[in-house]
Chain A
Amino acid sequence: MLERCRKGDERAWAEIVNRYWGLAFRVAYRILRHKEEAEDAAQDAFVQVYLALPNFRHQSQFRTWFYRIVVNCALARLPPSPVELLDESQQVELVEGAHEDPEGIVLARERAQLLDWAIKQLPPEWRTVFVLRELEGLSYAEIAEVLGIPIGTVESRLFRARQRLRQLLKPLLGDG
């Protein structure tokens, strides 16, 4: 199929976009937490695939290569100050809103806000590793290849992301 894409076969491109759009949008959205930005990042990724396809030599799997492109396109769209800081009253509102839910169940909207806020507190490099491992299910080796970092760094960033999220999302966690 990639060969057909190289030759400019419209139908092959349609198959690629149909097959990988979901992945591209999902990863971009989970990194950016912004629908329109994620849509643009996913689109950028396919254009990057088109531009880089002549140089793709099958040294890595297409999927891994594609993940790398999507992650780079998403990271390029992160605002210059990636950590979205809420003022104290906003933080209290979110956390108390979660705590004071009468049934002990946080409303979906509040939960989404809390997840949004929490993940935006992570530095982009921790956030990316967390998304790829915990939500996309990539192995450490795959993440290392996607991000071009050693496996030890993957392990350390993931641990830090997990610990930070554990602190930030206390209101959502049960007593264990």
Chain B
Amino acid sequence: MAESEANLNMCEWQRKVSAYLDGMLVSEETAKVAAHLQVCEECRKAIIEWQQIRLQFLTESLPTSPTMIAVTLERLEREGAFKTSNLHHRIWQFDSWFTRLDVAFRAAMAAAILAALLLANSTAPVFQAKDTVQAKIQQVIRLIPLVHSNESEQVNRR
């Protein structure tokens, strides 16, 4: 048994090391591979390089697909997946339409909407009403001395 293990070529050892790395060996084999790793630089190197490769793939940036959730839901709808409808449907449609636009264009649209809201606010009926009330108050204030003077004239006549 020991002799056959000693005769394992490098490839066979590395195959075991690969399974060892994933915790797939039974405890007896794990101990044997651990002992082998103490003395075999080539197998230690293999482990390090496999881990480096894994890291290379894990750290690469993947492309993003921000609009595809909405597109997928639209496709599911076309396929007949939805039997009940709700408000989300309209939100998805808007989301789908809106997110297809260029980012700069979306930002410009948002700025334009904000500006329009601010402008509308300054001329809104609430503000107009406020102005009207203020004007009426000032008119009343202006009338007060006149009322006083009329009263004093009546008194004098009496």
Contact = CB atoms under 8 A, between A and B. Distances in A.
Q: Do A and B come from one complex?
A: yes
Interface of A: 5, 7-11, 13-14, 17-18, 21, 25-26, 29-30, 35, 39, 42-43, 46-47, 50-51, 108, 111-112, 115, 119, 133-135, 140, 151, 155-156, 158-159, 162-163, 165-166, 169, 172-174, 176
B54 A173 contact: no
Given A47-B75, A50-B79, A29 B63 contact: yes
A156 B15 CA distance: 8
Given A43-B72, A162-B18, A35 B65 contact: yes
Report which residue of B48, B53, B60, B77 has the largest number of chain A beta carbons within 10 angstroms of its beta carbon.
B53
- Which size class do B's interface residues fall under? 35 or more
30 contacts: A5-B81, A7-B83, A8-B81, A8-B83, A11-B86, A14-B73, A17-B72, A35-B65, A46-B76, A47-B76, A50-B76, A50-B81, A111-B60, A112-B60, A112-B61, A134-B57, A135-B54, A135-B58, A151-B24, A155-B15, A155-B18, A159-B14, A159-B15, A165-B53, A166-B53, A169-B56, A172-B53, A172-B56, A173-B53, A176-B48
Contact of A115 (B52, B57, B72, B73): B57
A17 B52 contact: no
A174 B15 CA distance: 22
A166 B18 CA distance: 13
B73 A25 contact: no
Contact of B86 (A10, A46, A151, A163): A10
Contacts of B45: 176
A151 B23 CA distance: 13
B68 A39 contact: yes
Report which residue of A7, A26, A172 has the largest number of chain B beta carbons within 10 angstroms of its beta carbon.
A172
B94 interface: no
B50 interface: yes
B89 interface: yes
Given A46-B72, A134-B54, 13 more contacts: A7-B83, A17-B72, A42-B68, A43-B68, A115-B60, A135-B57, A155-B15, A159-B15, A159-B18, A166-B46, A166-B49, A166-B50, A176-B44
Interface majority SS on A: helix, strand, loop or mixed?
helix
Nearest to B24: A140
A42 B72 contact: yes
A176 B18 CA distance: 17
A115 B59 CA distance: 11
Complex A-B, nearest 5 residue pairs according to Cβ-Cβ distance, in ascending order: A8-B83, A10-B82, A159-B18, A35-B63, A176-B48
Nearest to B19: A155
B37 to A, nearest CB: 13
Given A7-B83, A21-B69, A169-B53, A158 B18 contact: yes
